[in-house]
Structure 1
Amino acid sequence: MSGKQSIVFIAAGAMMLSVWMMRRESKKKSTSRKKKDQKQRDRQVDIVSKKAAEIAMRAKSKEEETEVTEQEESNYKSEWSEHLPGHILREQYKERRRKEKLPMLAMKSQMYDNITMFCPEGRQLSQISSKKAKWYVQKQLATWIGEDNKAIKLTFEPKARSDEGDYGRSLKQNICIACGDGEKYQMRFYIVPHVYRTLFPKRYKTHMSHDVVLLCADCHLKMGTAANNRMNEIEDEFNPQQRFATNQRQYKVRSAALALLNWRHKIPEQKISVHEATVRQYLTEEKTPIPENDLLTNETLQRIIDVDYRIENPNYIPGPVLVVNSIVNDQEKMADFIRSWRRFFVNTIHPRFLPDGWSIEYAVACDEKPTA
């Protein structure tokens, strides 16, 4: 090998070594960079994990704090309610009981089915319930119209027909006619109180759905309370007698027995002696005395409590009977009475969703021509 060739060979080897060294260095740097990147990613994951753990701990702590706060609030309310006056506690109890009974008192199905009834000529007569429509069909007095069974057509000519715009022909929505709510518990409401309506002659209550409307539970309570107050005002004008008189002596003895049976541990000794003396004197008068050294047993006290202290009045006439008897023989008074309740209903609850055709001046009897 000549000197020139040797130099070329050495230069090529040096170049190859240099390239290898450069690649090795680059590989080291790449590996180092990857390790750094991995460490950085691991560090970020650790940071995120720690933050997530902190958030979870704070959430758990907040939840526990909320539970403690709710428990403290419940305890506070319980302690606070113990110091409320008795009449407020009774009202709270009544409200709880009312809400518990709502599912039982509310309607289980819709009030209005809106089945349209047509005469043989095809003229609309009225809106009726599904039950009544099925009765007509089963008796072969009508046939269904359409596949959805939302209308029937009579097979006979009816004796009477409603005028145009009659309340009976209008569609009724299954919502509270006062506030429009259709989700809450819904209840029938008698605009003329049911205690009066049941005493009316048949012509004033048969086929007269005009004065039976749909209200939600809240509006029903509001309107019912107002109606009861007005009933009391009306009946007070007739000075009705009390149904029961109170036997004051028996009432006093019963109160003493109740106190001894239920609240002896809270009553001062002096008061206990007074109550026991009252009870013992009563037992002596009833010829069932108890020796002075013997204790009054719970059975004896309960027997005294169970004795009725009320005396029924044989001449008692219920207020609704007095009211209806004063108007039942006068058609004009009956009409004024019914329409006064309609007017009172509108002025009290201010209904915004009354069905078309509903009116204070609407007919008050089934054989009376409807008026708008």
Structure 2
Amino acid sequence: MAVWMNKRYWFSLVEAVYLPTPRNISYFWNFGSLLGITIGLQVCSGILLTLYYISDSSIVFGVVDYMGREPASGLFIRYSHIVGGSLVFIFFYLHIARGLVFGLYYQVGLWLTGSLMFVMAMAAGFLGYVLPWGQMSYWGATVITNFCSVVPFVGQDFVCWIWGGFSVDGPTLIRFFSLHYLVPLLILFLIIVHFVVLHDSGSSNPLGVTSKSEKLYFYPYFVVKDFVGVFLGLFGVWIVFFWIPELFFEAQNANEANVLVTPPHIQPEWYYLAAYAVLRAVPSKGGGVLSLVLFVGVLFLLPFFYNKSGSLKVYSWFNHSFWIFWFLNFVLLTWLGACVVEYPFVDLARVSAMLYFGLV
């Protein structure tokens, strides 16, 4: 049995390396590999940070500060994790945008596993945002978890169960730390499933052609192309890390959580701002939470909105232009989520939210 498994492992590895791949795929197909590498680096830096992290609300803020000052390369590892978290979502959004423009939602299994990965990454990002126990971390956790109170009959009890008490406190921090450690492991499992589905269905290409004679081995041709993308990605990280390291750092989180002082403008990290804008665009709390769920749920519904009979149309210029406009509207929502809650930003967010759902 062990001999068979060993042979099967090496066969699968060789099969993956020499996978026949369409020769005309462009650099837009690099975002998937960049995303996988970034998630792997996030897991590694996160494991190193857990060696020092203590989930005790009375000392955790000082511990996080200590992690950046005393341990060897502690500041480097911590800022790598912060910048890496933003990079994960940059590559996620670009990877999804490429899938929309080139109609990859017709590969149902591949699209659904990727969408589930995206949701898990959003959960991991939110859980990790709370762990430094800064001012914005605390109040962000309070606001977001309170949305669960809209659940009929058991909403408030459910919120208290999440908190582990009657407010966000030490038990909440312990639970969030445990989940933040476990969710990336589920993401790694989904990545494996994503790879299996990809190798089963085969990679797509910009033209949508299916000619098997127009394929090359993944190694060495596309490995070299991936290395070019990795180099450019690392160059961007180098610029951010050494020149503008505070770009993805929330200034309010430099202050320890204070339950008596509410920040004047509570907002999540930039990669949640589009969802936050949709949430704020709906006046009622229940309607806002429902729109927040649909904001992500629409990705899962795309393969069922468009039937296979129209798959050839996805490679037309109209379809490309349509999804590019939809993605630009998503970028507009992200900007509106960072704006203050007043005229005209609220009205613009409502129009943009209607376009987000209506165009699909």
Return the TM-score normalized by structure 2.
0.23
Structure with the larger helix share: 2
- Looking at secondary structure, tell me which structure has more strand per residue: 1
TM-score normalized with structure 1 length: 0.22
